[in-house]
Amino acid sequence: MALSGMEIFKLLPKTNCRECGMATCIAFAMSLAADKIELEACPYVSDEAKAKLAQAEAPPIKLVTIGSGDQALKIGGESVMFRHDKRFNNPTGLAICISDTASEADLDARLKRFQRVRYCRMGCELRAELVAIKNELQDARKFAHTVETVRKGSDARIILMSDDPEIMAAGLKACAGSKPLICSATSANAESMIELAAAHDCPLVAKAQGLEELTALSSRLADAGVQEIVLDTGARTVREALADQVHIRRAAIHQAVESLSYPTITFPCEMTNDLSMETLIAAMFIAKYAGIVVLSDFQAESIFPLLLERMELFSDPQDPLMTPEGVYEIGAPDRHAPVLLASSWALTYYNLTLAAEVSRTPIFLCFQEISEPDVMCWCHHCLRSTQKGKFDAPSTIRFIKDCKLEERVDHRKLVISARNAQFSAELESALPEWEIIVGPGEASQLTGFLPELAEELRKEKSV
């Protein structure tokens, strides 16, 4: 159970040294309780206190790591049923399933697609991370060959899928040192799989038929020393699998059932033969509450919405998502495209990008970093307080100069929101070479404004 700020304070040295960046130890304790600072920031906390805090703050759902080094993927580590209660911590891992029956051409095509299908969204790379290699031929040599091909042809973290310990051993040998996820241990092969997991220091999937059998199996693995366990209830219908996911999360969070306090793996790829339906099922499991979702395949149009959903769900609702400061090109703008100034709140990015796309007007979006998400900008969501919400003119002037917009466009016109009209004169005074245009106050109104402005800039070009 998480400790309160006062309970944490009692374990601190109470020196008020300020070396952590906080004014007092009580302020540090309150920030630590709210997850706004790390314990390591206190240089004088005792080892005994660290141990007590670590034990008390350990999440109900244990953390599992797949892969090693910079390629490590963490799943689990969750502590709430609902994102708005606090936040979800480690995004669901997305996997593409490749069978050892696949031809060389098909295998190569899938790996190329796995490597190619990725997106940059507000400075974050969105992509699938895992390849699940499924043993269907019962041929250890072929399985190992497929594993080796995947390892050489991609940067994926690997899931090895076989119930045969000998074939699993061959797969582990082919990807030695990469710490794959072993999938899976059953009541029939548990002892052999436990030995393999221990020998290769790998996490292990516990697969059973139903929650009662799964509870007994995971306890058996834990008693044998396996620390990193992933749960598979064996359910392959949507209704049963969803019910199991909710039951496991509730048992771990509210009832502290040790044997179910692990992340889960789900298989939409085994629940339907239709890729569109599979995508819908995967979207459900990302929200409720899978640690890993295994897909039969993906195309750009199917994986992209899943990546966006995951990005949104695993952002912190108490810390609004921000767009990295900089100039963004929307729709391949030329040197005569409109230039808009906006705050770095992600919602603003979405609204302005949508407005540009709907109006079919290429633009430059200048996103200035802000520390207060209430900055008045291009949408009513920004106006939670009329006392907040003003750009700081000096920092805005600094940002505009740092952007070097004059190197990107031939005109000298900068559009700001009507919500920021109060400091347009100040901007013009500090930036005499620029004309400050006060645009609409709502992003939705830009769909009519932008084409007219773009046409005006084109006419000026011809003159």
* Residue-wise DSSP of 168-212: HHHHHHHTTTS-PEEEEE-TTTHHHHHHHHHHHT--EEEE-SSHH
Q: Are 46 and 139 members of one domain?
A: no
Looking at 255, 290, 314, the residue that finishes a domain is 314
**pTM score, two decimals?**
0.76
Length of the chain: 463
Q: Are 303 and 341 members of one domain?
A: no
Q: Are 230 and 308 members of one domain?
A: yes
Residues 437-460 pLDDT 10s: 999 888 888 999 999 999 998 888
Write down the pLDDT at residue 58: 76
pLDDT of 287 higher than 80: yes
Write down the pLDDT at residue 3: 72
Q: Worst-scoring range by mean pLDDT, 19-28, 203-212, 295-304, 396-405? A: 396-405
Task: Supply φ then ψ for residue 226, to 5 degrees.
Answer: -75, 120
CATH code of the domain containing 211: 3.20.20.20
From 322, 359, 364, select the one nearest 343 (Cα to Cα). 322
User: Highest-confidence range of 118-132, 214-228, 376-390, by mean pLDDT?
Assistant: 214-228
The reply to whether 285 falls in a domain is yes
Tokens coding 193: 């799989």
Write down the pLDDT at residue 344: 79
Q: Are 67 and 46 members of one domain?
A: no
Share of the chain above pLDDT 90, in %: 60
pLDDT of 401 higher than 60: yes
Tell me the pLDDT band of 253, cut-offs 50, 70 and 90: very high
The reply to whether 365 falls in a domain is yes
How far, in Å, are 75, 168, 177, 184, 446 from residue 72 at the CA level? 10, 21, 12, 20, 43
170 burial level (CB within 10 Å; 0-12, 13-18, 19+): buried
pLDDT of 316 higher than 90: no
Write down the pLDDT at residue 463: 57
Tokens coding 410: 């031939």
Write down the pLDDT at residue 385: 34
pLDDT of 195 higher than 80: yes
Mean per-residue pLDDT for 216-240? 97
How far, in Å, are 55, 261, 326, 389 from residue 382 at the CA level? 40, 39, 20, 7
Other CB atoms closer than 10 Å to residue 63's CB: what's the count? 18
Q: Are 152 and 296 members of one domain?
A: yes
Q: Are 42 and 153 members of one domain?
A: no
Looking at 19, 42, 57, the residue that finishes a domain is 57
Tell me the pLDDT band of 197, cut-offs 50, 70 and 90: very high
CATH code of the domain containing 348: 3.40.50.11600
Q: Worst-scoring range by mean pLDDT, 149-158, 207-216, 388-397? A: 388-397
Kindly give the pairing relationship between strand 204-207 and strand 229-232: parallel
- Tally the domains of the chain: 3
How far, in Å, are 390, 412, 418, 461 from residue 328 at the CA level? 22, 17, 21, 22
Tokens coding 194: 């436990």
Q: Which residues form the domain of 124? A: 61-314
220-229 core/surface letters (b: 16 or more CB in 10 A; e: else): bbbebebebb
Neighbour order of strands in the sheet with 326-330: 326-330, 363-368, 339-343, 413-416, 435-438
Tell me the CA end-to-end span of the chain in Å, nearest whole number.
70
Mean per-residue pLDDT for 48-67? 84
Looking at 16, 39, 57, the residue that finishes a domain is 57
pLDDT of 317 higher than 80: no
Q: Worst-scoring range by mean pLDDT, 47-56, 307-316, 421-430? A: 47-56
In 34-136, alpha helices (H): 47-57, 104-116
Q: Are 43 and 87 members of one domain?
A: no
The reply to whether 321 falls in a domain is no
Write down the pLDDT at residue 1: 47
DSSP reduced 3-state for 329: strand
Q: Are 258 and 352 members of one domain?
A: no
Kindly give the pairing relationship between strand 413-416 and strand 435-438: parallel
Q: Are 166 and 221 members of one domain?
A: yes
Q: Are 331 and 452 members of one domain?
A: yes
Q: Are 354 and 307 members of one domain?
A: no
Q: Using CA atoms, how far apart are residues 201 and 225, in angstroms rounded to an integer?
A: 11
Residues 164-190 pLDDT 10s: 999 999 999 999 999 999 999 999 999
The reply to whether 240 falls in a domain is yes
Q: Using CA atoms, how far apart are residues 458 and 339, in angstroms rounded to an integer?
A: 13
pLDDT of 420 higher than 80: no
Tokens coding 330: 């929307």
Tell me the pLDDT band of 462, cut-offs 50, 70 and 90: low
The reply to whether 383 falls in a domain is yes
Q: Using CA atoms, how far apart are residues 396 and 412, in angstroms rounded to an integer?
A: 16
DSSP reduced 3-state for 57: helix
Tokens coding 106: 């098909």
pLDDT of 386 higher than 70: no
Q: Are 32 and 177 members of one domain?
A: no
264 burial level (CB within 10 Å; 0-12, 13-18, 19+): buried
Tell me the pLDDT band of 371, cut-offs 50, 70 and 90: low
The reply to whether 320 falls in a domain is no
Q: Using CA atoms, how far apart are residues 74 and 78, in angstroms rounded to an integer?
A: 11
The reply to whether 255 falls in a domain is yes
Write down the pLDDT at residue 53: 77
Contact 365, 327 (CB under 8 A): yes
Q: Using CA atoms, how far apart are residues 340 and 306, in angstroms rounded to an integer?
A: 30
